Structure 1
Amino acid sequence: MNYIGKKLKSLRQELGLTQTEMAAGVISVSFYSKVERGLNDIGVNDFLDILQEHNVDPKDFFNDFKSKKANKEKLVSLVNRFVTVSTEDNESEIKNIIKSFEKIKPQTPFIKFIILLARLIAETHNETAMKKLTNKQRNTIKNIIFRESYNDDEYYRILLIANLIQVYNVDEATFFVKSILRRYHDITKVDKKTEIALSVLLINYVDWCFKKKEFKLCKESLDYIKQLPDDIELAFPKILGLYFDESIHGNKEKAEVVKKVLYESGYKVMVKRMEK
């Protein structure tokens, strides 16, 4: 039964639980501890009760490799989709994606963290919602962004800051963006996933500065966007970067051409935002 003990320990660590929390009152903590170490055998009913307490399907427990791989792929797919629909202000799809996040099992601390971020973005993804936030709510959101740290969450944290950039004033936003750019100054060493996150952050930051007429602050971010690879995944932010660059330099005709291309490509919501 040491096999079960090792897998229970692995599951407990994945869920971020203590032995007391994992035992969940089903069996004593001391007994559970010995199960993990292979010193005690756990009864079938107790074993199933513990899994049920943590919403873990027995099939997933015994098939964790495939489950983890599937969850990882699903999570990445959902996050990428969420970034798109939050930009498009697609309320119904935003809610559907959050529901999909909530269905991922087991609900590890990291997945719970992602759900929290998604809900935050859902509540604040457009300018109208941002304006309704009180100073207390803004400070709460700022604290949540840097409250916890999980492995591999830098990508998601960048996306969160990108989508909540207007929670900050321009000086705060500039500080974060400059810090992040210093960290990723060598584009040749940035992985594809992070490139996408950075492009979203920089475009939203430029948009924020543009609205505040802080045009000088846009240069570094726009230069960085220009240096990003000419990949299809980065085409949209690079096109938006071109629009802002032409607008800042007073090339209205070229900026209008970019807007027309975006409009005809289906980005009507984005174009309407740009016209405000």
Structure 2
Amino acid sequence: MKDEKILKLRAIVATYYLEDKLDYLKDSIKKEIVSEIYNSKNITKNTPIIQLFSNVMPILSNDQLNILILEFLRRYENSNKKTEMDRKRIAVLLNNYLVTCYEKGIDGDVVDKTISCLMNMQDVHLLIYKEVGKFYFELIKGNKTNALKIKQELKNWNYTNLTEKLKI
């Protein structure tokens, strides 16, 4: 993996994750990951960086997570050409951010900006990503009843496997 730095970092994090030892990941690896993400050119189209960022969110500090997602949102909003695949990758990343925020108890302006960006994506193929994003946004905001309604709507749309993964 000498020439595959991003893949190597993802593999390291995946190994620690599967062994339930994310807390033991070395700070030097975390710093290297943050540096790779932050210094990436064209982050909104760089699939390996998007995947790395999505995979490592749980190991980042709240400040690192928010700084990186803000930078990501800024670059995304300023990018001109957004293909359907780009928007799908971004939607997945934003959902992962919202899940991580829910799990870590993070709320605030960055969460609001994230859901706003997700909801402003103009593509019918992203409807499910938007619904999942709204589900976690409602949980972050403490609106469990609204989250349950969204989950039930998804179940009514025959997304039963998905709804089984949406934990409250």
Structure 1 pair 146/220, CA: closer, same or farther in 2 (3 Å)? closer
Q: How far apart are the structure 2 equivalents of 1:240 and 1:189?
A: 25
Q: How far apart are the structure 2 equivalents of 1:129 and 1:231?
A: 38
Deviating beyond 4 angstroms after TM superposition, the runs of 4 or more aligned structure 1 residues are 124-127, 143-150
Which residue number corresponds to residue 111 of structure 2? Answer: 218
Which one of 152, 158, 182 corresponds to residue 50 of structure 2? 158
Q: 1:138-187 deviations in whole A, cap 9, x for unaligned? A: 3344455568879x972321221122112221111111111111111157
Q: Does 1:197 align with 2:92?
A: no
| 2:58 aligned partner, one-letter code | Q
Identity %, equivalent residues: 21
2:13/2:22 contact within 8 Å kept: no
TM score, norm. by length of structure 2: 0.73
Q: CA deviation at 1:215?
A: 1.5
Q: Does 1:119 align with 2:11?
A: yes
Q: How far apart are the structure 1 equivalents of 2:56 and 2:98?
A: 13
Q: How far apart are the structure 2 equivalents of 1:143 and 1:186?
A: 21
2:37/2:53 contact within 8 Å kept: yes
TM score, norm. by length of structure 1: 0.48
Structure 1 pair 120/190, CA: closer, same or farther in 2 (3 Å)? farther
1:145/1:157 contact within 8 Å kept: yes
Q: How many residues align?
A: 163
Structure of greater relative contact order (alpha carbons < 8 Å, 6+ residues apart): 2
Q: How far apart are the structure 1 equivalents of 2:79 and 2:38?
A: 25
Structure 1 pair 203/126, CA: closer, same or farther in 2 (3 Å)? farther
For structure 1, the residue ranges without an aligned partner over 5 or more in a row are: 1-101, 103-108
2:77 aligns to what SS in structure 1? coil
Q: CA deviation at 1:137?
A: 4.0
Q: How far apart are the structure 1 equivalents of 2:150 and 2:83?
A: 28
Which residue number corresponds to residue 265 of structure 1? Answer: 160
Larger radius of gyration between Structure 1 and Structure 2: 1
Q: How far apart are the structure 1 equivalents of 2:29 and 2:132?
A: 30
